[in-house]
Structure 1
């Protein structure tokens, strides 16, 4: 054997001995490098082409892949450019020496990509923290997701700001059926003339602003409710609710019905101070379907801010009254509410000296109610009972001597229920009072001789949702006013009643179309009687 051949065999043995250890290092290095490339690809720091190019360079420069890396490489053999580079051993730049260990250019490029990715991640995190800090700033206003019927809610720091409201308009045709005038009656039957009007229904328009926050553990609310009409206003005893003035150059009236604050906690309950819907009779009118329509017109030839709906033909108007009231926490569906309210004058609504009047009040009106809300399967409902009392002082009347100091304590009670079962709903309500009067609080409640008149009334209402959008409603109601002891007022109203049928169609979440028919009749204690028929059609938008 020649010396040259021996040298070759020795060199081969040396290379074999060192190659085994280099293979182990290469396998480990291939695993780390392949993992790094995969991570950079998933993070989007490398494109697929860049990833495959770097992997090809790494394999080309003698690094033995791990079984995993070999499988990855084998699975990508459909990549023609990389396949050509590997199969034909395309020459790629060799290792780079930078004052020490040799760094493969592909490793250097991968490290640079990793450093760039880390910088991007740090910048993204800083931007996210900066954005979160800005959102937590009290000066940033957020908008809650809109829910139909709940208005628009904005959040400015710790304060919730809610805007809601409604607008309506109806064409109403009223046809009197004839009869003689009834003092204190609500029918227009004795007018003798048909009338057409474009008017508001029982609701005027409304824009309600509510502010809510929590301070020192106390939930606080402030409410401002503005209620303008669409017809010309006319100054009178009932302010914006007085019959209108259909004369050129007129302007609409504005009724600021709600101005109040509340403060409370879940465990203590809530105190309300300001002007809002009264406690007695409140549920009766809020359950009345004619809130969304017209009902009895009251006056159609010269419409005011609102119609009557079922006011005076089923319940006495609760009214919007200054008050300080307290509502307890709800316990097992039960809640109690009681309050002191601004006392109201006794009012001679019938006219002609038929009723007494008063303007002196040394004590407040007191009202209260108890409600029970429940749900049992498909049945849900509310049952309520309420009371009212007020002392009327210094009564004056045609049959009361001027030197007499006549007074009377008004008392009234009510009970009602509203039940919903599937698509059907029913309402039943009853009230009775002594000195309460009819239609409005203390309207004709005390006779001209200073004696109290009893009154009572009720209404029943049925509603059925034919489809998700179409709803049918029918209701009937009566309000009775009895004569006081020693009285014989034949012209005074004895009974107001009405029957109402309506169709409501929800065209959108906001817009409801309404068609309605109402028959109203008023009867006196004597022979006089009057009735009328009303047809209305229009729309109400609620947001």
Structure 2
């Protein structure tokens, strides 16, 4: 604290004592310096002793300059400034007329005043170098590190020369109670209704925790960013096909999973647009999840008895998860509210999420419902167009996106043996979506719809191709309404559905009776904005899954917790 005060003292002295010609501008600075001392004292940067010492010393400089200056350069403005400075000095017991030696007050702790006098003397001696340092800091050059104005939720930004270093993130935790209402297991369903047991968990919601580091600079006309995003969960991780997103493992001596899902760079400018290279959220379905209110809560739990890094939210019950995918994308400048993006992405395998037929009476027992793929000769392609506008108090955003990927070497497991899907050993997956978000005063509404061929449900390419190699069609939607009852309290309600249809000729190869046909959920939540960082959340969700044979399962979930953004 002492060193910080010395720097402040040096800075304010430098602003005062640097030698300048006797001009109107030089004399006008007299009262500016006094104002600066007042601000520093009000903020606690100067003690009363230091304030009095510096103000008295300043008075002596002002008086000396006035005596030395020719009459022609003693303006009325300087006289007023001198009078105002003298008034301050008198008000604080400092000056030549208060019975003390100028610049010193004799009080119970004279060593404090002495230290202040020494500091002022040293500051005066090095005034020119201090002024140069101040100029360098104001121009953000040299080795100074500065802190930008803090905006809640936008993180901390440090300016180190030409580089902005931003640290932001969030942390959340919920108590979640899940109660199944019975039914039969649905292959590929998201409900836990058939488990038969209530479950309690202390867990993350749809978001895990997150810590993001962003480095930004401008070089030769290019805006350049590097982003690293780490997303750890609170629950024990279990190794599985979905890595950190696999079901958890609530056993002693476990450790949580770390999902390093964001690793990318961007470069561009307002004329050319922006290029992105690395791993980030996909274009197709990206706006759907970012507009989903359950992003700040739990929604459908997935597995609540052994929680994974995250819950499902509305994933699989209104949209297909956009996912975080390695990509090279280009985004145009925004023109009249319109912006477009297109890119090539790491191709993903078709995945047998529903597993195998578990009905021992079925002729296709121990055969997978869906095909998988392992070869990709071409990348996945995704694109998106957005339009944003404001009409009076109405703000609107409309988006549409698409996805294309060629799946090769399709195969499935037939009675425990990996088998080619035959003549249909490849498939071109296609998908598109459209959505809108409209806000007016305290109301916000979202409507979204998607449709795909070979896309699958819940995750990209989950059960998108049948075991005979033919594509399954799928579609889904969700609608959401939110209203700010007060500045701090927001109520949200939403309903969503995801449908998966059978492929042509599928019933003749593998019995699809237990395969999921529909996942749906109804969700209501209250969000209380307690502080700039902290939000309290209470939520109820009813989730159900229905199979192609009519079997179903349902569950109810109540959650309460907090989520913090910094």
TM above 0.5, yes or no, is: yes
- For 1:145-171, what per-residue CA distance to the aligned partner results, in whole angstroms no more than 9, with x for missing partners? 111111000000000000000000000
Matched, 1:435 2:454: yes
Structure 2 residue 236 is the aligned partner of structure 1 residue 217: no
Matches within 5 A, 1:88-127: 124=127, 127=130
2:521 to 498, 506, 531: 498
Task: Quote how far apart the aligned CAs of 1:125 are.
Answer: 5.7
Task: Answer whether contact 1:262 1:271 (CA < 8 A) is retained.
Answer: yes
Q: Deviations over 1:278-336 (max 9, x none)?
A: 00000000000000000000000000100000000000000000000000000011000
In the other structure, the counterpart of 2:287 is 283
Q: Which stretches of structure 1, 4 residues or more, deviate above 3 A after TM superposition?
A: 39-48, 120-127, 133-137, 398-405
For the residues of structure 1 that align with 2:30 and 2:256, how far apart are their CA atoms?
Answer: 70
Alignment correspondent of 2:534: 511
> Contact between 1:398 and 1:449, CA under 8 Å: does it hold in 2?
no
Bigger Rg over Cα: 1
Deviations 1:349-379 (A, max 9, x none): 1111100110100000000010001111111
**Once the two structures are superposed, what CA deviation does each residue of 1:464-506 show, in whole Å capped at 9, x if it has no partner?**
0111100000000000000001122111100000000000001
When residues 259 and 46 of structure 1 are mapped into structure 2, their CA distance, relative to the original with a 3 A threshold, is closer
What does residue 128 of structure 1 align with? Answer: 131
Deviations along 1:212-242, whole A, 9 cap, x unmatched?
0011111100000000000000000000000
1:138·1:158 contact (CA, 8 Å) conserved in 2?
A: no
TM-aligned CA distance change 1:401 to 1:252, over 3 Å:
closer
Distance in 1 between the 2:437 and 2:211 partners? Answer: 27
- Aligned-pair CA distance for 1:128: 2.1
**Which of 148, 153, 158 is equivalent to 2:157?**
153
Structure 1 258/130 Cα, relative in aligned 2: closer, same or farther at 3 Å? closer
The alignment's TM-score, normalised by the length of structure 2, stands at 0.75
Residues 132 and 303 of structure 1, relative CA distance in 2, 3 Å threshold:
same
Contact 2:136 2:142 in 1 (8 A): no
Q: Of 462, 485, 506, which residue of structure 2 is paired with 1:487?
A: 506
Distance 2:175 2:302 in 1: 15
Cα separation, 2, equivalents of 1:46 and 1:326: 59
Gaps of 5+ in 2: 1-28, 35-54, 68-82, 84-122, 357-367
Distance (Å, rounded) in 1 between the aligned partners of 2:30 and 2:385: 68
Q: Is the 8 A contact 2:172 2:563 kept in 1?
A: yes
Q: What is the distance in 2 between the residues matched to 1:207 and 1:124?
A: 42
CA distance in 2, matches of 1:392, 1:452: 10
Residue of structure 2 aligned with 1:302, choices 287, 300, 306: 306
- Matched residue, 1:408: 427
Tell me the alpha carbon deviations over residues 68-114 of structure 1, each in whole angstroms, 9 at most, x when there is no partner.
Answer: xxxx9xxxxxxxxxxxxxxxxxxxxxxxxxxxxxxxxxxxxxxxxxx
Counterparts of 1:187 and 1:130 in 2: how far apart (Å)? 64
Aligned residues: 441
Q: 2:449, 2:476 within 8 Å by CA — same for their partners in 1?
A: yes
What do the CA deviations read for 1:182-241 (whole angstroms, capped 9, x no partner)?
A: 000000000000000000000000000000001111110000000000000000000000
Cα deviation, residue 44, structure 1: 6.4
Tell me how large the CA RMSD over aligned residues is. Answer: 2.5
Secondary structure of the corresponding residue to residue 461 of structure 2: coil
**TM-score after normalising by structure 1:** 0.78
